[in-house]
């Protein structure tokens, strides 16, 4: 019987997940489809019940439901519990809803696919202190990166986030800018620079050392102003397409047991958005 999967969020029309998963289903000869479902905040409980009742085999969860969905999930994996956020749900044989979070690991995989790096990279600076920053940072710590320094517009949030990590600290944007040459890896996780969100840069990356790896989790536009300035200043840069594709690939693996072709997908999305 044909299986079906979904992504729930608000807004959802812009999501590239349906196209990506449908392509992987086709490529791997799997009889399944993947649909976007627009779910408003006050419809979440009802939506989860409907997805189950209608035989959905699993779904992705995006903004603004990643934390709000937790009370409706029966079993969480350790990463999702630690992050207090779920981006992937699998409906098990007995109907149990199993939730996990593949965002952070998706980021680390995409980084290591392009730049052969690990603990030798030295100090890491994470810009932002929201859900994306915390997920990525847990995954970086698990992969042996660090120490991690957090910087955020609202300093207090950076300080609070840093307290959950060993050897971690927090800086204001101004102090982070003046210490940029101390970091081997810089991860931009705020929404600043995203199409239709806010233009501009969260902080000026001109002061980086030559060869610093500078990443931005945004992929539309392909190169944010932040990444462009970092590249011109000698940074080795990476946009967010790889993270998006790898978080999806990890969900695909959980659902089907098959590892999809991520390289071809990254290429195809880059061409499309380029």
Question: CA 231, CA 40: separation in Å to the nearest integer?
Answer: 39
Contact stretch for ligand ATR (CB under 6 A) within 6-14, 54-62, 190-198, 237-245 = 190-198
Query: What are the backbone dihedrals phi and psi of residue 147, each rounded to the nearest 5 degrees, phi first?
Result: -65, 155
Tokens 């705020």, residue located:
190
Active site residue 182: no
What residues between 78 and 117 interact with ligand ATR by CB under 6 A?
Answer: none
Asked if 210 contacts 186 with a C-beta cutoff of 8 angstroms, the reply is: no
Query: What are the backbone dihedrals phi and psi of residue 68, each rounded to the nearest 5 degrees, phi first?
Result: -65, -25
- Name the token pair of 216: 């931005």
The distance of closest approach from Cβ of residue 213 to ligand ATR in the complex, given in angstroms and rounded to an integer, is: 20
Closest CB to ligand ATR among residues 28, 84: 84
193 near ligand ATR (CB under 6 A): no
191 near ligand ATR (CB under 6 A): yes
Query: What are the backbone dihedrals phi and psi of residue 167, each rounded to the nearest 5 degrees, phi first?
Result: 55, 35
Counting residues that bind ligand ATR (by CB under 6 A) gives 16
184 near ligand ATR (CB under 6 A): no
The distance of closest approach from Cβ of residue 259 to ligand ATR in the complex, given in angstroms and rounded to an integer, is: 26
Torsion 240-241-242-244 (CA) sign: positive
Q: For 143-253, where are the E strands, in sequence order? A: 148-151, 169-171, 185-188, 213-216, 236-238
Closest CB to ligand ATR among residues 76, 176: 176
Closest CB to ligand ATR among residues 34, 150: 150
- Name the token pair of 204: 């000026």
The distance of closest approach from Cβ of residue 253 to ligand ATR in the complex, given in angstroms and rounded to an integer, is: 23
- Name the token pair of 56: 């959905």
Give the nearest residue (CB) to ligand ATR: 130
* Residue 223 marked in a binding site: no
The distance of closest approach from Cβ of residue 103 to ligand ATR in the complex, given in angstroms and rounded to an integer, is: 9
189 near ligand ATR (CB under 6 A): yes
Distance spanning both ends of the chain, measured CA to CA: 38
CA 250 to chain centre: 12
* Residue 78 marked in a binding site: yes
What residues between 119 and 158 interact with ligand ATR by CB under 6 A?
Answer: 128-133, 152-154, 157
The distance of closest approach from Cβ of residue 153 to ligand ATR in the complex, given in angstroms and rounded to an integer, is: 3
* Residue 248 marked in a binding site: no
Q: Write down the catalytic residue from 40, 66, 174, 272.
A: 66
Using CB under 6 A, pick the residue from 76, 86, 148, 192 that binds ligand ATR.
192
Tokens 């791997």, residue located:
28
Asked if 77 contacts 89 with a C-beta cutoff of 8 angstroms, the reply is: no
Beta bridge partners, 89, equal 59, 99
160 near ligand ATR (CB under 6 A): no
Closest CB to ligand ATR among residues 9, 202: 202
Cis peptide before 213 (omega within 30 of 0): no
Q: Is 238 helix (H, G, I), strand (E, B) or coil?
A: strand
Which positions are catalytic? 66
Binding site for ligand ATR (CB under 6 A): 128-133, 152-154, 157, 189-192, 198, 202
């Amino acid at each position: 019987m044909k299986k079906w999967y979904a992504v729930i969020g608000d807004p959802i029309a812009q999501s590239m997940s349906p196209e990506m998963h449908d392509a992987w289903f086709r490529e791997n000869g799997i009889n399944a489809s993947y649909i976007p479902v627009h779910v408003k905040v006050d419809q979440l409980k009802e939506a989860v019940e409907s997805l189950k009742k209608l035989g959905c085999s699993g779904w992705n969860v995006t903004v603004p439901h990643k934390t709000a969905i937790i009370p409706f999930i029966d079993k969480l994996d350790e990463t999702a519990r630690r992050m207090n956020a779920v981006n992937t749900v699998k409906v098990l044989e007995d109907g149990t809803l199993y939730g996990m979070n593949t965002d952070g690991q998706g980021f680390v995989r995409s980084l290591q696919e392009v730049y052969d790096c690990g603990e030798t990279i030295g100090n890491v600076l994470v810009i932002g202190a929201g859900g994306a920053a915390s997920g990525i940072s847990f995954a970086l710590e698990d992969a042996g990166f660090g120490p991690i320094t957090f910087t955020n517009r609202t300093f207090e949030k950076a300080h609070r986030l840093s307290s959950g990590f060993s050897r971690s600290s927090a800086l204001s944007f101004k102090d982070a800018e003046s210490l940029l040459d101390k970091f081997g890896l810089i991860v931009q996780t705020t929404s600043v620079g995203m199409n239709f969100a806010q233009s501009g840069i969260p902080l000026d990356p001109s002061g980086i050392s030559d060869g610093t790896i500078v990443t931005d989790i945004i992929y539309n536009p392909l190169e944010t102003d932040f990444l462009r300035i970092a590249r011109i200043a000698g940074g080795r840069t990476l946009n967010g397409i790889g993270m998006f594709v790898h978080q999806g690939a990890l969900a695909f693996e959980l659902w089907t047991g098959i590892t999809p072709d991520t390289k071809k997908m990254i290429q195809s999305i880059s061409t499309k958005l380029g």
